[in-house]
């Protein structure tokens, strides 16, 4: 067994205690024990800055958007579009019109699969995903390929959790219409070489969708630099309210795409005979959007932008390094996924205890982890485990919390031995 | 080395480590396959029923799963051996209601014996299925559900 004291700790590049004071839930107790929240890959907690902004908007400024010319609505519309600009700046998008709001990553990927997919993917064509995708970036493409008689190809993953890029090269053909991969794997933490993946896909004329649900909250993203055609994200994984997220889409690509959901606000003109559609992003935002949630997303981006994405990445990396060394010393514990480029996530497998027992037992120590297949069953199958216990970190986590996790896991191993 | 919740008690731990009646049954009269897709618990329950006497003479199981599902199945096999079919259904009903928090063994007459150990699972609704899978599968076997049972 390792001794936590022998592992050197890098001095945090951010003031973690000051940050923690911004998150009211982090000072709560679960069954008399301080909450140790390590399920940030599933959803993140919210700071006062987001909670208060949404509360203030709802109590003093709330109005519909784009549907009225009275001042309450004009102001609400302005704030809504300002939030769109914040997202555009956050992702490095050239214009705010290239940001489409959706309920989250799942809906954004479905939008592209239904709209782009229905129009441009036909019988005999090919779609490429990877073996380490979330079901949200697997099932929409399976359904599309089945409907169209297209072929779904899968980039294999090596034992360390990295995609096998030589195999990717072989999968690309002039029939490839779209490549859909995540930036960071939610099950393993692998950071994928999406710039290279995009460049190679473009060389055969294919478009690229990057699922950014696990990356956008944790590192600096620049969609111009990546050059991808779509980049999706979820607000609730980046300290914003649930029910809001969206995607960047290149304007020249989105302009060629038909609507996905139809109704109000996505039209240019409607007669009973024919409807013409609005330009993106309105074309893809039918119906009244989640307005307060968009305002909350803007506040969340201001908050993490204030800390700095480079600092967030650096600190979370030091948490990962510390946690990895701590857990590597525990006998009977296996970390699934050891990619060289990895986000702050540890997928844990114990020889002696089922992941669901681990989660329930850690919960009794106040430690919150996700146990299960992480909506990535093909990944679990590939690594020969039914499920894992996943500790996913955020910039408000502390080294001491990882010590507690390690102690909790040792206790479970001893209990079951 | 203890957990506040009675869930992970010595008895459950013991039945997880050394499950009782953990084997296939060659002369089984009833058999059913049960899965809990959320957890991946996967068990098969075998019964040997004396139809004339309406008695469950023998119970066994095979499969894999978490400690709760394995211990629950193991304890069930011990508990039901020699019971009348009607009694098995009564215990199923009481157990099922107990894990859902709809039955209080300490306040009501019951036929659960040691099985009350699983009462603590009610704090974790997402895991009640781990404890009740064995019981649904057992009833599936009695009802001759050839397609198996699933908790979803």
Residue finishing a domain among A259, A287, A306: A306
pLDDT at A10: 77
Residues A246 and A371 occupy one common structural domain: no
Query: What is the pTM assigned to this prediction?
Result: 0.92
Beta carbons within 10 angstroms of residue A1's beta carbon: 10
Residue finishing a domain among A254, A279, A306: A306
State which residues form the domain around A35. 4-46+308-411
> Is A13 labeled as catalytic in the residue annotation?
no
- Give me A33's structure tokens: 């024990």
Q: Compare A49 and B123 and report the one with higher pLDDT.
A: A49
pLDDT at A5: 52
Q: How far apart are CA A258 and CA A120, in angstroms?
A: 11
Residues A83 and A59 occupy one common structural domain: yes
Residues A289 and A330 occupy one common structural domain: no
Q: Compare A349 and A381 and report the one with higher pLDDT.
A: A349
Per-residue pLDDT of A189-247, as tens digits, reads 999 999 999 999 999 999 999 999 999 999 999 999 999 999 999 999 999 999 999 99
A354: left (phi over 0), alpha (psi -120 to 50) or beta: beta
Position A4 confidence tier, pLDDT thresholds 50, 70, 90: very low
Residues A109 and A239 occupy one common structural domain: yes
Q: How far apart are CA A127 and CA A183, in angstroms?
A: 17
H or E element that contains A403: helix A399-416
pLDDT at A388: 93
B10-144 CATH: 3.90.1010.10
Give the three-state DSSP class for A396. Answer: coil
Q: Read off the CATH number of the domain in which A403 is found.
A: 3.90.1150.10
Which residues in A lie closer than 8 A to residue B68 (C-beta atoms)? 356-357, 360
**Would strands A207-211 and A176-182 be described as parallel, antiparallel, or unpaired?**
parallel
Per-residue pLDDT of A74-93, as tens digits, reads 999 999 999 999 999 999 99
Task: Check CB contact of B12 with chain A, cutoff 8 Å.
Answer: no
Residues A362 and A388 occupy one common structural domain: yes
Q: How many CB pairs under 8 A join A and B?
A: 44
Q: How far apart are CA A14 and CA A260, in angstroms?
A: 42
Is the pLDDT at A2 greater than 50, yes or no?
Answer: no
Residues A263 and A141 occupy one common structural domain: yes
Contact check, Cβ <8 Å, B67/A416: yes
Shortest CA gap B22–chain A (Å): 18
**CA angle centred on A276, ends A62 and A251, rounded to 5°:** 70
* Nearest chain A residue (CA) to B120: A360
Residues with Cβ within 8 Å of residue A209, at least 6 apart in sequence: A109, A112, A137, A178, A179, A180, A181, A228, A229, A230, A231, A232
Task: Check CB contact of B55 with chain A, cutoff 8 Å.
Answer: no
- How would DSSP label each residue in chain B? ---SSGGG-HHHHHHHHS-TTBS--TT-SEEEEEEETTTTEEEEEEEEEETTTTEEEEEEEEEE--HHHHHHHHHHHHHHTT-BHHHHHHHHHHHHHHHTT---TTTS--S-GGGGGGGGGGG-GGGHHHHHHHHHHHHHHHTT-TT-EE--
Residues A66 and A162 occupy one common structural domain: yes
Residues A55 and A140 occupy one common structural domain: yes
Residues A290 and A313 occupy one common structural domain: no
Residue finishing a domain among A272, A306, A340: A306
Per-residue pLDDT of A8-29, as tens digits, reads 777 889 999 999 999 999 999 9
pLDDT at A290: 97
Position B40 confidence tier, pLDDT thresholds 50, 70, 90: confident
Q: Read off the CATH number of the domain in which A239 is found.
A: 3.40.640.10
H or E element that contains A202: helix A194-203
Contact check, Cβ <8 Å, A353/B67: yes
> Predicted ipTM?
0.84
Q: Are A320 and A7 in contact (CB under 8 A)?
A: no
Residues A74 and A222 occupy one common structural domain: yes
What does the domain layout of chain B look like in residue ranges?
10-144
Q: Mean pLDDT across the stretch A65-69? A: 84
> A-contacting residues of B 56-95, CB under 8 Å?
65-68
Residues A111 and A156 occupy one common structural domain: yes
Contact check, Cβ <8 Å, A364/B68: no
**What is the domain count for chain A?**
2
């Amino acid at each position: 067994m390792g001794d936590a004291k022998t592992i050197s700790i890098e001095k945090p590049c951010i003031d973690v205690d000051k940050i923690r004071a911004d998150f009211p839930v982090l000072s709560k107790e679960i069954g008399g024990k301080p909450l140790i929240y390590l399920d940030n890959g599933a959803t993140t907690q919210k700071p006062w800055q987001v909670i208060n902004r949404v509360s203030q908007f709802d109590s003093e400024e709330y109005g519909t958007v784009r549907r009225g010319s009275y001042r309450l609505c004009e102001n609400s519309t302005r704030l809504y579009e300002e939030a769109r600009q914040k997202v555009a700046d956050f992702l490095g998008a050239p214009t705010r019109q290239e940001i489409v709001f959706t309920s989250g990553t799942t809906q954004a990927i479905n939008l592209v699969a239904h709209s782009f997919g229905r129009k441009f993917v036909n019988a005999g064509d090919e779609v490429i995903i990877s073996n380490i995708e979330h079901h949200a970036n697997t099932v929409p493409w399976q359904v599309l390929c089945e409907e169209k008689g297209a072929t779904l190809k899968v980039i294999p993953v090596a034992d360390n959790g990295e995609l096998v890029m030589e195999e990717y090269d072989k999968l690309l053909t002039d029939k490839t219409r779209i490549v859909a991969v995540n930036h960071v794997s939610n099950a393993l933490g692998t950071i994928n070489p999406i710039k290279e993946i995009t460049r190679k896909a473009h060389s055969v004329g294919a478009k690229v969708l990057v699922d950014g649900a696990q990356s956008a909250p944790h590192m600096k993203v620049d969609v111009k630099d990546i050059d991808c055609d779509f980049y999706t994200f979820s607000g609730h994984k980046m300290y914003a309210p649930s029910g809001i997220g969206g995607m960047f889409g290149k304007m020249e690509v989105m302009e060629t795409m038909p609507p996905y959901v139809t109704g109000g606000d996505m039209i240019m003109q409607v007669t009973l005979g024919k409807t013409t559609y609005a330009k993106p992003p309105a074309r893809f935002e039918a119906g009244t959007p989640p307005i307060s949630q968009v305002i909350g997303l803007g506040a969340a981006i201001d908050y993490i932008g204030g800390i700095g994405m480079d600092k967030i990445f650096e600190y979370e990396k030091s948490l990962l390094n510390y946690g990895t060394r701590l857990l590597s010393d525990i006998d009977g514990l296996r970390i699934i996924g050891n990619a060289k480029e990895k986000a702050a996530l540890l997928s844990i497998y114990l020889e002696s205890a089922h992941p669901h027992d681990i989660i329930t037992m850690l919960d009794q120590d106040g430690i919150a982890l996700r146990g299960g297949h992480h909506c990535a069953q093909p990944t679990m199958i590939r690594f020969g485990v039914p499920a894992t216990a996943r500790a996913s970190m955020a910039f408000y986590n502390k080294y001491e919390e990882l010590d507690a996790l390690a102690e909790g896991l040792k206790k479970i191993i001893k209990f079951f031995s | 080395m203890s957990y506040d919740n009675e869930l992970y008690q010595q008895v459950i731990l013991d039945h997880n480590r050394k499950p009782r009646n953990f084997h296939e049954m060659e002369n089984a009269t009833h058999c059913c396959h049960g899965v809990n897709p959320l957890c991946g618990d996967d068990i098969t329950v075998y019964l040997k029923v004396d139809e004339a006497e309406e008695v469950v003479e023998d119970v066994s199981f095979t499969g894999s799963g978490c400690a709760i599902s394995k211990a629950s199945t193991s304890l069930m096999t011990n508990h039901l051996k020699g019971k009348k079919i009607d009694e098995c259904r009564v215990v199923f009903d009481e157990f099922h209601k107990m894990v859902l928090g709809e039955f209080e063994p300490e306040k009501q007459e019951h036929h659960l014996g040691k099985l009350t150990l699983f009462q603590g699972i009610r704090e974790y609704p997402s895991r009640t299925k781990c404890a009740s899978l064995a019981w649904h599968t057992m009833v599936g076997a009695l009802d001759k559900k050839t397609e198996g049972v699933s908790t979803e």
